[in-house]
């Protein structure tokens, strides 16, 4: 895997309340959102912040979230074989593969792994995400047919 971080997803207790905090309270503009499900903000060069319901994140990652560990980090790759390669490398090194690569409900292809301290990493590809050569991460429309 390349040394890069493209997305931090916070598992939030109340998505609408969190969206109000970041949008109205901090004055941030959503980059992309699916109302009632997820909201993404561009927070810096090459980095997105996602707000996702905590229960939904726990279900997606197949691991209960604990206080202080209610987020996931994401590594975005260009295609499915790259997801498979990254997961195989983690598995070969004895890493904790929580959810092997699968087609996601969001139209992409992803897996979840955990580092030795249990921090969640999602390895994903999705037609709605793109990463420039300089590391800038973009998010656009998602089309399950393109996955």
Give the model confidence (pLDDT) of 27-42 as tens digits.
899 999 999 999 999 9
In the chain, the percentage of residues whose pLDDT exceeds 70 is: 94
CA of 103: how far to CAs of 21, 84, 116, 123, in Å? 32, 12, 25, 12
- Class of the domain covering 7-124: alpha beta
Regions of the chain with pLDDT less than 50: 144-147
Give the model confidence (pLDDT) of 105-116 as tens digits.
878 999 998 887
Name 11's bridge partners. 52
pLDDT given for residue 19 in this prediction = 93
pLDDT given for residue 145 in this prediction = 47
């Amino acid at each position: 895997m390349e040394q890069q971080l493209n997305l931090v997803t916070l598992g939030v207790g109340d998505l609408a309340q969190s969206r109000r905090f970041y949008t109205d309270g901090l004055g941030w503009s959503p980059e992309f959102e699916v109302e009632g499900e997820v909201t993404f903000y561009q927070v810096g060069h090459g980095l997105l912040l996602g707000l996702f319901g905590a229960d939904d994140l726990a279900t997606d990652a197949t691991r209960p979230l604990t206080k202080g560990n209610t987020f996931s980090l994401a590594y975005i790759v260009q295609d499915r074989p790259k997801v498979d390669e990254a997961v195989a490398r983690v598995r070969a090194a004895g890493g904790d593969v929580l959810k092997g690569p699968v087609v996601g409900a969001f139209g992409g292809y992803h897996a979840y792994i955990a580092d030795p301290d249990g921090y969640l990493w999602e390895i994903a590809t999705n037609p709605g995400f793109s990463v420039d050569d300089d590391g800038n991460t973009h998010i656009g429309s998602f089309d399950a047919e393109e996955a």
